[in-house]
Amino acid sequence: MNDLFLRACRGEAVERTPVWIMRQAGRYMAQYREVRKKHNFWTVCRTPELATMVTMQPIDRFGMDAAILFSDILVGLPAMGLDVDFNPGPQLENPVRTSADIDTLHRFDPLTDLGFVLDAIKSILKEIDGRIPLIGFGGAPLTLAAYMVEGGGSKNFMYLRGLLHEEPRSAKKLMSFLVDTQADYLNAQIDAGVQAIQIFDTWAGHMSRQLYREFVLEPMAQLIERVKRPGVPVIYFIRDAAHVLDLLSSIGADVISVDDKLTLSSVAEMIGPGPSLQGNLDSTVLLGSRKSIHEGVKRVLEDAPKDRGHIFNLSHGILPPTPEENAAYLVETVKRLSLVKET
Amino acid sequence: MNDLFLRACRGEAVERTPVWIMRQAGRYMAQYREVRKKHNFWTVCRTPELATMVTMQPIDRFGMDAAILFSDILVGLPAMGLDVDFNPGPQLENPVRTSADIDTLHRFDPLTDLGFVLDAIKSILKEIDGRIPLIGFGGAPLTLAAYMVEGGGSKNFMYLRGLLHEEPRSAKKLMSFLVDTQADYLNAQIDAGVQAIQIFDTWAGHMSRQLYREFVLEPMAQLIERVKRPGVPVIYFIRDAAHVLDLLSSIGADVISVDDKLTLSSVAEMIGPGPSLQGNLDSTVLLGSRKSIHEGVKRVLEDAPKDRGHIFNLSHGILPPTPEENAAYLVETVKRLSLVKET
């Protein structure tokens, strides 16, 4: 097995920097768009053969060092009793706004209620056949709470912040419920065979430092504690987070994945010794010229701190208008430049 | 004149903390919604009598320590040759994407092309009759560039960042054009009589530190330099900016206005000695209980550093669903608690 990714997560020596791309199975690929012409997003998530097909498309075409399960962080919401539609952003018919709403949520059983995810994992692992690791993933409690309380995406997270300010006990009950369900869900993914876990906290950086400390840090640390297993690294993704990065040393993640607001060397300084870093080329660079991509890759590789592991990735998901040849050039350039760097 | 606001901007001693609210003339007020039933947004901006009426509504009702001109940061775009519609977010028919697009932009004359703004200022000043200061304002170059290049609001500023990465010389030409036009425009506002200027850099915090250093910091410093006059403080508003706050000591603003991501004491520490601070109560607190508002105000006042001026404000614009009585309670509470604190 090419275990560069796993070794970098653990901070071990590597011959070159491993690379994968958030949303590497996605709309920028013609093959993916073909599949989506025939099947909607939910159907692809829920059909192991289709999830396997799209998970493997970027691996076969671009040769990333890790595959990531094709799914969505909101895939468990229906199992909690919440209906979600994608058109294309997620929309919930009944947002969770009160303590009573929170009490109606089901603590589902991943084995029975999300069996299609576990079947997809097993099917993908068969297809990968031990060549590279498979990453499982889920949403962080705060980020799931954001969708559940707002009822979809949001510009200012008015309802979520309202709940945190006005009903701190209800908010903590919701976070605690989400720690439980996500621990169950991510542990089921590990039992099904994923070799690493990424927890997406896409919206946590929109909370103030005070709210992050009061409502996010401790539940996240608990969740990570509950999914940690020997040999299965946990990656915590957060963005827009310069105001809380110094708090993350205590969160327990093996890897912190960040956006491009700060260089990886500054991030390492703020977090302190310990976790490997994942990131952080600005996704929009992939819309530009080869020259810019080359320079961007070079800058990230040179800046990545040498006292810990580094997994190359973007600042956020790859953008749908990205030309496929630029994704190919990115992977190839990371592999080439990071190898040269070591010799 | 109640000059608490101006003295706090200059860092002078004050008997109590001055307070105003971003978007204090706006949709949360029934009186404002009445005006907007009859006139659209552009008409209110362009009709001095209407702009005066809505500017004064919150002053008469809530007693803020400063008025702010009712207008919009995009009001100058048509004078540059760009059509803007509000439905309700701004939409441009012809976004500015290339060097050739930038060359077609007009450097307008505020006296002739934006005379309605200057007339509104004179009309408002007559109405205020020297009781409190009037704040003029405009958009920062990067934030205006964001709207112009994206063609409206944006989630990821894909086109703007694309321009910065791929066409740095064109991007700098655009920033330089915007420094020129905004310097003309803000100086015309000062000539018309505003007693302070706020420059809104709403989107600059979405740029990485590297992009901020390369494209934002120097043009902003130039713009501030060109509008600085004795006795007319310049306020620089930026949010989501923890990754660049330490750079702002050199920007030359009398006041830095920030959101609630960090406490004012942390912000002061990052910026270093010098500018007064404006902010930074989370706007969503105003949707909640009196108890939360009271606690929030108290926390901000107690935390505000004593080595510099402080103007009380929100983290961002007041939210449309805010009950008017909560705005009243906020202003009253800031006045009461900050006075008590001094004695």
pLDDT higher than 90, residue A342 = no
pLDDT higher than 80, residue B116 = yes
Residues A230-253 have pLDDT tens digits of 999 999 999 999 999 999 999 999
- Return the exposure string of A125-151: e unless at least 16 CB atoms fall within 10 Å of the residue's CB, then b: bebbeeebbbbbbbbbbbbbbbbbbbb
* CB within 8 Å of B108: residues ≥ 6 apart: B76, B79, B80, B114, B181, B184
Here the tokens at position A142 are: 């705060």
Residues B43-82 have pLDDT tens digits of 999 999 999 999 999 999 999 999 999 999 999 999 999 9
Confidence of residue A63 (pLDDT cuts 50, 70, 90): very high
Q: Which of B28, B97, B113, B147 is catalytic?
A: B147
Which candidate from B208, B240, B288 shows the least CB-CB separation from A282? B208
Q: Hey, what domains does chain B have and what are their CATH numbers?
A: 4-338 (3.20.20.210)
What's the CA dihedral at B24, B28, B30, B31 to 10 degrees? 20
Among residues A247, A128, A109, A94, the alpha carbon closest in space to that of A188 is found at A109
ipTM score assigned to the predicted complex: 0.94
Task: Answer yes or no: do B162 and A284 touch at CB < 8 A.
Answer: yes
User: Which pLDDT score is estimated for B340?
Assistant: 58
User: Which pLDDT score is estimated for A148?
Assistant: 98
Which candidate from B166, B261, B319 shows the least CB-CB separation from A288? B166
Instruction: Please count the other Cβ atoms lying within 10 Å of the Cβ belonging to residue B269.
Output: 13
User: Which pLDDT score is estimated for B87?
Assistant: 80
* CB within 8 Å of A150: residues ≥ 6 apart: A95, A157, A158, A159, A160
Instruction: List C-alpha distances in Å: A227 to A70, A185, A232.
Output: 20, 9, 9
Task: Answer yes or no: do A289 and B166 touch at CB < 8 A.
Answer: yes
User: Which pLDDT score is estimated for A86?
Assistant: 83
Residues A299-338 have pLDDT tens digits of 999 999 999 999 999 999 999 999 999 999 999 999 999 9
Q: Are residues A102 and A173 in contact, defined by beta-carbon separation less than 8 angstroms?
A: yes
Residue with tokens 């490997």: A276
Catalytic site includes residue B27: yes
* CB within 8 Å of B343: residues ≥ 6 apart: none
Burial class (CB in 10 A: 0-12, 13-18, 19+), A324: middle
Q: Which residues of B touch A288 (CB under 8 A)?
A: 162, 165-166
How far is A340 from B212, CA to CA, in rounded Å?
31
In chain B, pLDDT over 70 holds for what percent of residues? Answer: 99
End-to-end CA distance of chain A: 23
Residues B269-290 have pLDDT tens digits of 999 999 999 999 999 999 999 9
Nearest-Cα distance to chain A for B6, in Å, is 28
Which pairing describes strands A276-281 and A255-257: parallel, antiparallel, or unpaired? parallel
Residues A90-141 have pLDDT tens digits of 999 999 999 999 999 999 999 999 999 999 999 999 999 999 999 999 999 9
Interface of B with A in 37-76 (CB under 8 A): none
Catalytic site includes residue A329: no
How high does pLDDT run on average in chain B? 96
Residue with tokens 């229906």: A78
User: Which pLDDT score is estimated for B62?
Assistant: 98
Confidence of residue A343 (pLDDT cuts 50, 70, 90): very low
pLDDT higher than 90, residue B303 = yes
How far is A252 from A199, CA to CA, in rounded Å?
12
Q: Which residues of B touch A161 (CB under 8 A)?
A: 282, 284
Residue B209: what residue type? R
Instruction: Say if A320 is an interface residue toward chain B (CB within 8 Å).
Output: no
What is the CA angle A185-A201-B237, rounded to 5? Answer: 165
Instruction: List C-alpha distances in Å: B237 to A217, B201, B227, B313.
Output: 28, 6, 15, 11
Query: Strand pairing partners for B339?
Result: none
How high does pLDDT run on average in chain A? 96
Instruction: Please count the other Cβ atoms lying within 10 Å of the Cβ belonging to residue B89.
Output: 10
Q: Average pLDDT for residues A26-53, to the nearest whole number? A: 97
Instruction: List C-alpha distances in Å: A220 to A223, A235, B97.
Output: 5, 12, 41
pLDDT higher than 60, residue B343 = no
Residue with tokens 């790859």: A318
Confidence of residue B144 (pLDDT cuts 50, 70, 90): very high
User: Which pLDDT score is estimated for A100?
Assistant: 96
> Three-class SS of residue A150?
helix
Instruction: Say if B35 is an interface residue toward chain A (CB within 8 Å).
Output: no
Instruction: List C-alpha distances in Å: A33 to A39, A85, B3.
Output: 10, 19, 61
Ranges of H-type helices in chain B: 4-9, 30-38, 41-46, 48-62, 77-80, 99-103, 110-113, 115-128, 141-150, 158-166, 168-192, 209-211, 217-227, 264-271, 290-303, 324-342
Which candidate from B208, B243, B288 shows the least CB-CB separation from A162? B288
Q: Is the dihedral of CA A71, A74, A79, A84 positive or negative?
A: negative
Confidence of residue A161 (pLDDT cuts 50, 70, 90): very high
pLDDT higher than 70, residue A340 = no
Task: Answer yes or no: do B162 and A289 touch at CB < 8 A.
Answer: no
Q: Which residues of B touch A261 (CB under 8 A)?
A: 208-209, 243
* CB within 8 Å of A274: residues ≥ 6 apart: A249, A308
Instruction: Say if A168 is an interface residue toward chain B (CB within 8 Å).
Output: no
